[in-house]
Amino acid sequence: MKLFLDTADVAVIKDMVPTGMVDGVTTNPSLIAKSGRNIAEVIAEICALVEGPISAEAVATDFETMVREGDKLAAIAPNVVVKLPLTWDGLRATRVFADKGVRTNVTLCFSAAQAMLAAKAGATFVSPFVGRLEDHGADGIGLLEEIRVLFDTHDFTTEILAASLRNPGHVSAAAVAGADAATIPADVFKALVKHPLTDKGLDAFLADWGKTGQSIL
């Protein structure tokens, strides 16, 4: 499963890229607003740091303006993925971009039926929001499982990009459910490596090694 950073903070991306685990980046209007920077400048800088797909979101709600915005975003760099909302206008724009060979990420997916429409429109990625579903008492991971079965049954090539993942458990469950990728905030990304027994075991190993008085170097 590919791991994407969900951020528009270039400093955070620079910090995480050396891990070798960052396969891409997703942004959204809220993250761009939080950065306080011009969207084109931010996306260009991120694209230069990460070779993988970089989602940049159109903010228009009508078809014609979505396409114009998407064209402008896609022109920033070859690895830009145009992010579009799961609405009829968004799906129409998705088809236009698919026909032009421009990759898309259809976001705000909350049902298997919506995911099917995104796939039929030619989306590169569809982003089911796990955490937001769970906020309303629904089964977010169960939705990923449904979409996986649906896509496999009908040979859809659209990739499942699990979003709104709020803890390491969500990320592990998304991987087991068959998501092709997961987008996660930096704090959750960093937490994936942590386990109290790992820390305890390392402390014990180091304590025992210190008693030997040896040095490997």
What pLDDT is recorded for position 42? 97
What is each CA distance from 33 to 42, 78, 147, 170, in whole angstroms? 11, 23, 31, 26
- DSSP letter string over 164-191? ---SHHHHHHHHHHT-SEEEE-HHHHHH
Span 196-212, mean pLDDT? 96
- The model's pTM is 0.95
What's the pLDDT at 13?
Answer: 97
The single residue of 14, 34, 72, 83 carrying the catalytic annotation is 83
Of 51, 55, 52, the C-alpha closest to 42 is 55
- For residue 206, the model assigns a pLDDT of 96
Q: What is the pLDDT of residues 49-62, one digit of tens each?
A: 999 999 999 999 99
Contact 134, 153 (CB under 8 A): no
pLDDT of 121-135, one tens digit each?
A: 999 999 999 999 999
Active-site residue flag, 34? no
CA–CA separation, 155 vs 26, rounded Å? Answer: 25
